[in-house]
Structure 1
Amino acid sequence: MKVLVTGAAGFIGMHTTKKLLDEGYNVIGLDNMNNYYDPKLKEYRLNLLTPYDNFNFIKMDLCDREGVAKLFENEKFDRVIHLAAQAGVRYSIEKPFEYTDSNITGFLTILEGCRNSEIDHLVYASSSSVYGMNKKVPFSEDDRVDEPVSLYAATKKANELMAKTYSHLYQLKTTGLRFFTVYGPAGRPDMAPWLFTEAMLKEKTINVFNNGNMKRDFTYIDDIVEGIFRIQNKHGSSATNSNIYNIGNSKSILLMDFISALEKHTGKKANKNFMSMQPGDVEQTYSDSTKLYDEVGYQPRVNVDEGVKSFVNWFLEYTKTTADGK
């Protein structure tokens, strides 16, 4: 089984690729290694994958239509797991074209590659952000998602519509996975777990938006990866060409409780600067993952205390080994 994983040097991409490699899959990892955040972290992740004999890495931008088409033609993939995207809700307000390039044009090149190469199954990353200001909780795949509050969310909803269209026109089997606030070792430095941990260890102030009145369905990376792995296998034999699933912990945790867990495992008290809601943000995310459980028997196992402990331990080790340029 040969699988293409896009965004292989990213947070979710690296962990997913490692799972596939450990299971014996042949994986081609693709990433453009951009500088949205420090590329050294992407290189660190990539270094965890390169020792595998069944892994090959290709540096390429998904907007390179000819390059991507040639890659599909040459490699004859069985499946594609598309995790590459320009991430970050707040950054989409500052750099909107980065999102249309990566998340719309880039996704189209993947869809074209899949339909021209008769790919067995395309699994792609969507996001809980598509639910916008949805007041009904927990969020269900049956809820309306036509009122995004950020461009990032709009691009992810567009991806779902594009995939559905290709499934209808070309009988391409596609599965979109709506991830809920993923965290864990090797996570992104622009997200709260990293930002808060780094500031707390340096005894600096953390910015807490909406005066702390935020709730998130924090989902540990291992649980996300297990869901991806199971669904890429399961849907290949499904009679339905296009599906959407939530992947979340199905628990909506107060941001202040998450900060308390960080305080416990860092041994540092957080100095909090309470601020108003950021544009594009939402007050709550909360996943109903019943549909995924019914399909593949997947249910997250890692609670926030365990997950935060694992992240903090990794963060301490990573920052120690990268201090002073080492």
Structure 2
Amino acid sequence: MKVLVTGAAGFIGAHCVLRLMRDGHSVVGLDNFNSYYDPQLKHDRVQWVREQAGDFQLATVDLADASAIEALFVRERPQVVIHLAAQAGVRYSLDNPRAYLDSNLDGFLNILESCRHHPVEHLIYASSSSVYGANQHTPYSVKDGVNHPLSLYAATKKANELMAHSYSHLFGIPCTGLRFFTVYGPWGRPDMSPIQFARAISEGTPLKLFNYGEHQRDFTYIDDIIESIARLIEQPPQVNPQWDREQPDPASSMAPWRLFNIGGQHPVELKTYLALLEKHLGQTAIVELLPLQPGDVLNTCAEASDLAQATGFQPRIELDEGLGRFIAWFRDYYPTAYRPRAVRG
């Protein structure tokens, strides 16, 4: 199939492009290479993908540029769209809210409009476990309500789910939303804790452990995320004939629309996570214990039985193994991460 992947130079996007190409799909990538973090890492990811699987088309386009998105759809006519581009980060949204409106709302509207006017067989888009917000009932189920987001980032992700539903209902676009849970692995974002913690431990500088390290995260290794996406591509959602307007299922619809959690389903305390990083690095962290940050949820844990039922797959790489793979990459890539160099797989 011809697949358009937005955010193709991002962490999940680059891994997704690599898998799709290995599976024989024709891939068109889109990324704006913005400066939320150093664009060199994004360029290095693209180079890594090309070294591993060959060249692919990559358009430097901003999601908020409606005419450029329209022109891309006219030119490429994708059959499937995997929409991973977004302004990420919970804490960044506290000080830079408009970046989230431009990318996550206006940008997603441009994707939906293009899917409307140039029909696709399946639109898969990234949501986030952050939509569960103040909900403290774990494991989080796609059947749960998500009406109390704790950050603007989370609010935009919930808005994406609602926007997708309206377009699915009005224009018949098959839409699958994926709520990712704390994705980690090689080529991850430098604003996320694996790289931040690994660098601090390696350099002997203090790292900040919020909520005194007592909250839990459901870490999900990148390969498990990509496997789930790969299996869902050719399974566009159908209308749920059992959907009841009186007792509506939040994860399906009378439209071709659905939601899935993708999570490791084995949450661990941040203290345990840090101890594993120390083990793989062979060094001890200098820790600054701090209260929970505004916008952060306390604990996360995915209930992902719907995903297993639909795909026959559920995340299976344990945190210890996944962090070992991550640290092997980290040692290879840093400290020369932000200087042009030959990139090894």
- Note the C-alpha offset of 1:54: 6.1
Residue in structure 2 matched with residue 4 of structure 1 by the alignment: 4
1:251 and 1:133 map into 2 onto residues whose CA distance is: 20
2:295 and 2:323 map into 1 onto residues whose CA distance is: 25
Match of 2:309 among 261, 274, 294: 294
- Asked if structure 2 preserves the Cα contact closer than 8 Å seen for 1:126 and 1:159, the reply is yes
Residue in structure 1 matched with residue 44 of structure 2 by the alignment: 44
- Asked if structure 2 preserves the Cα contact closer than 8 Å seen for 1:130 and 1:156, the reply is yes
- Match of 1:235, SS state, is coil
Q: Which amino acid aligns with 1:270?
A: A
1:53 and 1:66 map into 2 onto residues whose CA distance is: 29
Residue in structure 1 matched with residue 20 of structure 2 by the alignment: 20
Q: Deviations over 1:275-312 (max 9, x none)?
A: 01111001101000011001111111210000011111
2:270 corresponds to 1:255: yes
- Asked if structure 1 preserves the Cα contact closer than 8 Å seen for 2:127 and 2:160, the reply is yes
Residue identity (%): 49
1:210 and 1:87 map into 2 onto residues whose CA distance is: 21
**Which structure shows the bigger proportion of residues in helix conformation?**
1
- Asked if structure 2 preserves the Cα contact closer than 8 Å seen for 1:50 and 1:56, the reply is no
- Note the C-alpha offset of 1:239: 3.9
Residue in structure 2 matched with residue 83 of structure 1 by the alignment: 84
2:191 and 2:110 map into 1 onto residues whose CA distance is: 27
Residue in structure 1 matched with residue 251 of structure 2 by the alignment: none
- Note the C-alpha offset of 1:225: 0.4
- Asked if structure 2 preserves the Cα contact closer than 8 Å seen for 1:24 and 1:54, the reply is no
Residue in structure 2 matched with residue 198 of structure 1 by the alignment: 199
- Match of 1:178, SS state, is strand
1:140 and 1:66 map into 2 onto residues whose CA distance is: 38
- Match of 1:148, SS state, is coil
Q: TM-score, normalised by structure 2?
A: 0.92
- Match of 1:234, SS state, is coil
Q: Deviations over 1:110-163 (max 9, x none)?
A: 000111111000000000000002111100001010100000000000000000
- Asked if structure 1 preserves the Cα contact closer than 8 Å seen for 2:38 and 2:338, the reply is no
- Note the C-alpha offset of 1:70: 1.1
1:99 and 1:264 map into 2 onto residues whose CA distance is: 37
Q: Deviations over 1:94-116 (max 9, x none)?
A: 10000010000000000001111
1:4 and 1:229 map into 2 onto residues whose CA distance is: 13
Residue in structure 2 matched with residue 304 of structure 1 by the alignment: 319
1:212 and 1:47 map into 2 onto residues whose CA distance is: 36
Q: 1:322 to 1:126 in 2, by over 3 A?
A: closer
- Note the C-alpha offset of 1:235: 2.1
- Asked if structure 2 preserves the Cα contact closer than 8 Å seen for 1:208 and 1:273, the reply is yes
2:185 corresponds to 1:184: yes
Q: Which amino acid aligns with 2:299?
A: Q
1:42 and 1:222 map into 2 onto residues whose CA distance is: 18
1:11 and 1:219 map into 2 onto residues whose CA distance is: 13
2:113 corresponds to 1:112: yes
- Asked if structure 2 preserves the Cα contact closer than 8 Å seen for 1:8 and 1:14, the reply is yes
2:280 corresponds to 1:279: no
Q: 1:72 to 1:325 in 2, by over 3 A?
A: closer
Q: 1:107 to 1:324 in 2, by over 3 A?
A: closer
- Note the C-alpha offset of 1:251: 1.1
- Note the C-alpha offset of 1:50: 3.3
Q: 1:323 to 1:13 in 2, by over 3 A?
A: closer
1:109 and 1:317 map into 2 onto residues whose CA distance is: 38
2:270 and 2:128 map into 1 onto residues whose CA distance is: 19
- Asked if structure 2 preserves the Cα contact closer than 8 Å seen for 1:63 and 1:105, the reply is yes
- Match of 2:70, SS state, is helix
2:28 and 2:48 map into 1 onto residues whose CA distance is: 14
- Asked if structure 1 preserves the Cα contact closer than 8 Å seen for 2:41 and 2:337, the reply is no
Q: Deviations over 1:35-54 (max 9, x none)?
A: 10011100100112335456
- Asked if structure 1 preserves the Cα contact closer than 8 Å seen for 2:239 and 2:257, the reply is no
Q: Which runs of 5+ in 1 are unaligned?
A: none
Match of 2:331 among 310, 316, 325: 316
2:236 corresponds to 1:235: yes
